[in-house]
Amino acid sequence: MEMSERFAANLIRLRRAAGYSQEDVAFRAGIHRTQVSLLESGSRMPRVETLVKLAGALEVTPDTILEGITWEPVVRTSGGLKIDGN
């Protein structure tokens, strides 16, 4: 699973758990609904500002939306972006 796919899955899960539509989240976050759609499809990754707005709209912390996405420093030939579920 790629980072954008994990982010999308987290966003969809949290939005549905909150009982919000994409339009609801977009309105609450002050962003366009199309942007929420692109994020949920895995086509885009948010800027930090958008991540914070989404977290606020969903009443969670940004790290909740980033659940399962971690970084390990590159050491020789190992390390890098790690996505839980691979």
**Secondary structure class of 83 (helix, strand, coil):** strand
Q: What is the rounded average pLDDT of the residues 13-40?
A: 98
As its CATH architecture, domain 3-83 has Orthogonal Bundle (1.10)
Q: Tell me the pTM.
A: 0.84
The DSSP letter of residue 43 is S
Mean pLDDT over the full length of the chain: 92
The span from the CA of 80 to the CA of 57, in Å, is 30
- Summarize pLDDT for 42-52 with one digit per residue, the tens: 999 999 999 99
Taking each helix axis from N to C terminus, what angle separates 48-58 and 3-18, rounded to the nearest 10 degrees?
30
Surface-to-core class of residue 29, CB atoms within 10 Å of its CB (0-12 exposed, 13-18 middle, 19+ buried): buried
